[in-house]
Amino acid sequence: MHQQMAATLDSVFDRIREIQRQARDGKAAEGCPRWPMIVLRSPKGWTGPKEVDGKKVEGFWRAHQVPVSNCRGDDGHRKILEDWMRGYDPEDLFGADGRLKPELRALAPAGERRMGANPHANGGLLRRELDVPDISDYAVDIGKRGSAMVQSTEILGHYLRDTMKRNAEAANFRIFGPDETESNRLGSVFDVTDRVWMEGIEPYDVHLSRDGRVMEVLSEHLCQGWLEGYLLTGRHGLFSCYEAFIHIIDSMFNQHAKWLKVTRELEWRKPISSLNYLLTSHVWRQDHNGFSHQDPGFVDLVANKKADIVRIYLPPDANTLLWVGDHCLRTYDRVNVIVAGKQPEPQWLSMDEAAKHCEAGIGIWHWAGNEEDATSPDLVMACAGDVPTMETLAAVDLLRRAIPELKIRTVNVVDLLALQSRDQHPHGLTDEAFDAIFTSDKPVIFAYHGYPYLIHRLTYKRTNHRNIHVRGFIEEGTTTTPFDMTVLNQLDRYHLAIEAIERVPGLKEKAKEALAAFRGKLAEHHDYVREYGEDMPEVRNWTWPAA
């Protein structure tokens, strides 16, 4: 058997060398070379006991885990164990001192050839920093706030294109995704590279080549596995995926996060690049698709893992997405999840503002509130995620027009885990900082991108938790207009404004007209989308007043 195995390995190595030589001489045959692969089928429990208690063990499922049980108490079983162990001829292997004989030790390879010391199995040793451009070169000039409609992921695409270019020689950066690079608006990377493709390429094909650095295959499992292997061997990458379908690799994410947690405790393991997810085509924008494509729950799973391993970012516009994307690519030993839409959306922050906001993780958007005395608003309107941010700002606009005397504070959250207490997560705000933003006693209407429970779970220890009222995805969905999706889940501007009025003490009685108007708008919307199949013009064309 050993002779056979050695001979097979020799012939396989020869074949690999031959394929490489042909490719390097430019004499490779058309199509993908057939790389050799060894299929070794060996009996389960091979060389272990053939039978125990008259029952077949070797080559059978009984060989699993512990083939002979209770060897302490059962003399017959102990004899089986002893015979088995003696079958290895320990006298030939070990000296009188119980140590492996020197001539056998000498057979083992030395240095990096040792299996446990091979740098390809400790990728951090091979890792080179990614050469990234300056994000300010890609910044969106937002002009008047809320006036520019931009596809945020497209802007990130420009940054990724140049990152790809700067690291072309190092050949250590790849983008992975289930056939969605274009669809997710990252297409400008194809200005500098292609999709890797090993089959035939036809004249009408576009952006396919043997050495493309975009890995596309309609299997989230394969994308995840490829990226894990790529990171573990010291390289860098980004996995862009439809939000709902990233659940396909939940179990693989779990295992990678566990692996990171454990290896961080092993000094000899050097840090590897973070596993970065860009979740786009998200729950709120599934115009052609439907309920099956609507699931923002991956982050709930992520938040279960060890705090220092995971980060969750919900950039509300292009400049914040640029900051977050760049930040994630430069971290290590983490799993970063970025959730950002690909549809045109209003732009809120200049690059400088975005950098400050993202570094803090959470911030008051003073320009979007009207509290004169910064310490005592009547109401906090909070949001996390691009669509909730737009709906919150529209609700603030409605409320300010209808009830000018209401003092509103607007808060936006980019770094979701900053909501947690500092003793639960390293990014968590201190209680003082949290209270300074969310107040200790005012109603907070929180519009959140995903399942609302996550916000409660993250904030339950906070002073003002009882007053935090969360709107999010409550598993109501279908194929409908973008705004109707928010209405079905009560995350839209009218529901938010109504809830604000209902939650501010005494306001309900004073703002009857506004309440009636907002409820009327919901009824109008209901009829309008059914008649015209698109959103009401005042919704579609709404812009922030400054715009």
Site stretch for a second copy (CB under 8 A), options 1-9, 284-292, 323-331, 344-352: 284-292
Q: How far is the CB of 435 from a second copy (least distance, A)?
A: 16
Q: Which one of the spans 84-92, 369-377, 435-443, 450-458 is the region binding a second copy (CB under 8 A)? A: 450-458
* Minimum distance from residue 465 beta carbon to a second copy (Å): 7
Contact 378, 407 (CB under 8 A): yes
Q: Which amino acid is at 432?
A: E
Q: Which residues, in sequence order, are CB contacts of 68 under 8 Å at separation 6+?
A: 49, 52, 57, 77, 80, 81, 84
Residue type, 83: D
- Number of Cβ within 10 Å of residue 88's Cβ equals 10
Give the closest residue to 425 by CA, choosing from 340, 312, 269. Answer: 312
Position among 323, 451, 518, 542 found at the interface with a second copy (CB under 8 A): 451
Minimum CB distance to a second copy smaller for 22 or for 255? 255
Nearer to a second copy, 55 or 105 (CB): 55
Structure tokens at 475: 């598993």
Among 44, 50, 270, 457, binds a second copy (CB under 8 A): 457
Pairing of strands 468-471, 444-448: parallel
Work out how close the CB of 262 gets to a second copy at its nearest, in angstroms, rounded to a whole number.
Answer: 6
Q: Identify which range of 160-168, 246-254, 434-442, 511-519 contacts a second copy by CB under 8 A.
A: 246-254
Tell whether residue 465 is a contact of a second copy (CB under 8 A): yes
291 near a second copy, judged by CB under 8 A: yes
Secondary structure letter of residue 29 according to DSSP: P
Give phi and psi for 521, each to the nearest 5: -65, -35
The window from 60-68, 84-92, 429-437, 531-539 that contacts a second copy (CB under 8 A) reads 60-68
Instruction: Pick from 71, 301, 433, 547 the residue near a second copy by CB under 8 A.
Output: 301
The structure tokens listed for 170 are 């190092």
Q: Please choose, out of 234-242, 300-308, 340-348, 511-519, the segment that lies near a second copy by the rule CB under 8 A.
A: 300-308
- Is 245 a binder of a second copy (CB under 8 A)? yes
**Alpha-carbon gap, residue 296 to 486, rounded angstroms:** 14
Q: Which of 292, 376, 430, 440 binds a second copy (CB under 8 A)?
A: 292
Alpha-carbon gap, residue 363 to 327, rounded angstroms? 18
Q: What is the CA radius of gyration of the chain?
A: 29
251 binds a second copy (CB under 8 A): yes
Question: Closest separation between CB of residue 472 and a second copy, Å?
Answer: 10
Among 9, 149, 262, 374, binds a second copy (CB under 8 A): 262
Single out the residue of 74, 131, 300, 353 in contact with a second copy (rule: CB under 8 A). Answer: 300
Give the residue with the Cβ less far from a second copy, 138 or 446: 446
Which amino acid is it at 277?
Y
Q: Is 453 in the site for a second copy (CB under 8 A)?
A: yes
Q: Decide if residue 53 touches a second copy (CB under 8 A).
A: no
Residue pair 279/338 in contact by the 8 Å Cβ criterion? yes
56 binds a second copy (CB under 8 A): yes
Q: Which long-range contacts (CB under 8 A, 24 or more apart) does 3-9 make?
A: 5/40, 8/38, 9/38
Rounded Cα distance between 330 and 339, Å, is 18
Residue found under tokens 């503002």:
353
What sign does the dihedral 23-25-26-27 (CA atoms) show? negative
Among 44, 78, 166, 247, binds a second copy (CB under 8 A): 247
Name which of residues 184 to 243 contact a second copy (CB under 8 A). 204
Query: For residue 363, which of 441, 298, 418 has the smallest C-alpha distance?
Result: 418
* Residue ranges that bind a second copy, judged by CB under 8 A: 56, 60, 65-66, 204, 244-245, 247-248, 250-251, 254-255, 258, 261-262, 288, 291-292, 295, 297, 300-301, 303-306, 451, 453-454, 456-457, 460, 465, 475
